[in-house]
Structure 1
Amino acid sequence: MDVNGIEWYGYLASLTVFISLTMTSIIKLRIFNFIGCIIFAHYGLLVGSLPVAIANFSIAFINLYFLYQIYRTKEQFNLVVAEVSSAYYQHFISCNQSDITKQVDLQLLQQVNTSFYMLRDNNIAGILAGNQDSHGELTLLVDYVIPKYRDYKLGDYYYNQHPHFLKEKGINVLRMDASDAEHQKYLQKMGFVPQQINGKQSYKKIL
């Protein structure tokens, strides 16, 4: 690699570390930071700077350690009925309004007949809210998780590994519309099947 190539390699390392710091998900932050550190460490070796290489290899190891801790830790999950009119529920909506309104109009959210807090280690990690019919089909208007917990664990736990949490609430079918590409990707990852209904992209999952 020539001098210019090595310099651009260093810029790539810096950019990757910078991108990692913009991640709201702690797992994505750790992964991108790990990649950036490995590139930086290699860059340090290429330019003959052992301190740079050692420091970044050490940070990369720290990232691996914390990723390992995240994935090995046994967490507790629960689903608790939430009263839409309660002060805390309204507070949660208000604090996360900018994100939640990307999924649903707040006025519609106030009219739902079914709403749950998603708990993770007894912390409120997000909400599920929608309208449930007499046949046990829940049309979700909101499936919102705060940035700290956006690692797919909640959705995978409730939708795939332990659907009994929802079945115990009388729910056997989930349906949700999604126009946002990222949201569509998430729903498909959770096992929802895409369907076209009245020209809208809808997703359905049988529990």
Structure 2
Amino acid sequence: MPWWEVVGWAGSVLVVVSLMQARVWRFRVMNLVGAVLATAYNAVFGIWAFAAMNGAIAVIDVYWLWRLRRERSDAAVYAVVEVASDDAYLRHVLAVHADDVARHRTVPAEVVDDALADGPHGELAFLVVRGDETVGVVLVRDEGDGTGTVLLDWVTPRFRDFTPGEFVYRDSDVFARHGLHRLVVPTAPTGAVAYLERVGFRRVDDRAWERAV
């Protein structure tokens, strides 16, 4: 197979596979690479209609990648909404995404299963929203001595390439208002280490992490 055909097929495959991605950033990156390859292939063989179409797609992808990167830490785009731990909408979000929450939460299952067996009760609960879309949930249990234990820090699949949870920790007043002086993650999976460091936690022993409020 001539190498230009390999380029053409690679571009087509990437465009198709990109459409199967739940994550916004990953979709745009794969779609951009596929569109660029397809544009080059069609231009070489003089298929100008398809070259123009894929070129336009590439430009659109570049625009959205720029916009997503610019907005990923923009407090005007994301907001943190505190809700009651027994809030009906919070329970709905956790129920709808139960399987994904179990697979991708920052805090391991053994830490929170008992606490959340019948749904959250008495924890501080925060929804991270982007416009009118809920993109994350953070639950913190007040231990009564100024310490809050993070029970859940979860982000929806679409925004897992970003860190919307950081907006909860950035606005430390939401914890200080409840008398908390520090937040603790008793144990964290290896995959959560980079995230915890990014949002201000530091390792205190082999497993535990903490962050001053």
Query: What does residue 157 of structure 2 align with?
Result: 147
Corresponding position: 1:190 with 2:199: yes
| Pair 140,16 (structure 1): closer, same or farther in 2 beyond 3 Å | same
| Pair 38,180 (structure 1): closer, same or farther in 2 beyond 3 Å | same
Contact 2:85 2:122 in 1 (8 A): no
Contact 2:154 2:165 in 1 (8 A): no
Query: What does residue 138 of structure 1 align with?
Result: 148
Structure 2: distance between partners of 1:24 and 1:82: 29
Corresponding position: 1:206 with 2:212: yes
Contact 2:150 2:183 in 1 (8 A): yes
Instruction: Among all aligned residue pairs of Structure 1 and Structure 2, give the percentage whose two residues are the same amino acid.
Output: 22
Between Structure 1 and Structure 2, how many residues are aligned? 199
Corresponding position: 1:115 with 2:121: no
Measured after TM superposition, the shift of residue 112 of structure 1 is: 5.4
| Pair 193,116 (structure 1): closer, same or farther in 2 beyond 3 Å | same
| TM-score normalised to structure 1 length | 0.78
Cα offsets for 1:77-127 (capped at 9, x unmatched): 12313223x433332221011012234355421365423132423543322
Question: Which fold has the larger relative contact order, with Cα–Cα distance below 8 Å and residues 6 or more apart in sequence?
Answer: 2
* Structure 1: segments with no counterpart, 5+ residues: none
RMSD: 2.8
Query: What does residue 167 of structure 1 align with?
Result: 176
Structure 2: distance between partners of 1:106 and 1:36: 42
* Structure 2: segments with no counterpart, 5+ residues: none
Moved more, 90-99 or 6-15: 6-15
Structure 2: distance between partners of 1:21 and 1:131: 39
| Pair 32,195 (structure 1): closer, same or farther in 2 beyond 3 Å | farther
Q: What are the within-5 Å matches in structure 2 for residues 51-130 of structure 1?
A: 51-70=49-68, 71=70, 74-84=76-86, 86-102=87-103, 103=105, 104=109, 106-109=113-116, 110=119, 113-120=122-129, 121-130=131-140
Q: Amino acid of the residue matched to residue 137 of structure 2?
A: I
Structure 2: distance between partners of 1:152 and 1:169: 27
| Pair 173,30 (structure 1): closer, same or farther in 2 beyond 3 Å | same
Q: Which runs of 4+ in 1 moved over 4 A?
A: none
| Pair 13,123 (structure 1): closer, same or farther in 2 beyond 3 Å | closer
